Structure 1
Amino acid sequence: MAATRKRFIAGAVCPKCKALDTLALWQEDGVEVVECVKCGHHQRQTDAQVEKHVRRDEQVIGIFDPK
């Protein structure tokens, strides 16, 4: 099994601990996962959540909303 490739989100602030540059992003079974490597806070966002933000003729990899 291949290791999951995680990417950091430059300039992002954790909504829980407010730390800067600590959010990692990756995909698990088609679901976008964001986790703070400092405090462990995490969010999951499915494609259905992304679709409501996408304009019809555009392609978007994903939208992260740290609320």
Structure 2
Amino acid sequence: MTTKIKKRFIAGATCPQCKSMDTLMLYFENNVEKMECIKCHYQQTQTNKEVKKASHQSENVIGVFKPE
């Protein structure tokens, strides 16, 4: 059984890449908030504050693995 992802449009928002209005949608995938333009397929993700905070605690960290 497949879980359907609930997507919602952001009224009045403009895509940062193609500058189209009313083409951005928000949805959650694997507990990560994502935004996508339906016209040019620009994507942006918003990670949890805990993940951002943990990734900057040590300066010896080369990178953070983000599976998608």
Give me the TM-score of the superposition, normalised by structure 2.
0.68
Unaligned runs of 5+ in 2: 54-68
Q: Which runs of 4+ in 1 moved over 2 A?
A: none
- Work out the percentage of aligned pairs sharing the same amino acid: 51
Select the structure with the greater relative contact order (CA < 8 A; seq sep ≥ 6): 1
Q: Mind listing any 5+ residue stretches in structure 1 that lack a counterpart?
A: 53-67
Partner of 1:47: 48
Residue in 2 that maps onto 1:37 = 38
The alignment's TM-score, normalised by the length of structure 1, stands at 0.69
Shift of 1:48: 1.4
**Number of equivalenced pairs:** 51
Structure with greater Cα Rg? 2
Q: What CA RMSD, in Å, does the superposition of the two structures yield over aligned residues?
A: 1.9
In structure 1, the partner of 2:58 is none
By how many angstroms is 1:30 displaced? 1.1
Which residue in the other structure is 2:3 paired with? Answer: 2
Q: CA deviation at 1:3?
A: 1.2
Structure-1 separation of matches of 2:40 and 2:18? 7
